[in-house]
Structure 1
Amino acid sequence: MPATPIASREAALRIALAARALNSLDVQALVGALVEKLEAPLTESKLGTLTVDDIRVILAGDFAEQGCHVGVEDAALKDAVRLLWGQGVESSDFPVVDSSPGGDIPDSIRVAIAANRGENLDGHFGSCERFLIYLVSLTTQKLIDVRSTVEADTTEDRNAARSALIGDCQIAFVQSIGGPAAAKLVRAGVHPIKKPKGGPAHEVLVELQARLASPPPWLARIMGVPAASLKRFEELVQAEGSA
Structure 2
Amino acid sequence: MQHKEGYVTHTLDHGIATIEFFHPASNSLPSTILADLAKTINDIGIDDRVKVIVLRSGGDRVFCSGASFDELMSIQNAEEGLKFFSGFAHVINAMRKCHKLIISRVQGKAVGGGVGLIAASDYAIATEGAAVKLSELAVGIGPFVVGPAVEKKVGNSAFTQLAIDATEWRSAEWGKRNRLYAEVHHSLAEVDDAVNRLSDRLAHSSPEAMAELKKVFWKGTEDWDKLLIERAAISGKLVLSEFTRNAINKFKQKN
Larger relative contact order (C-alpha < 8 A, sep ≥ 6)? Answer: 2
Structure (1 or 2) with the greater helix fraction: 2
TM-score (norm 1): 0.24
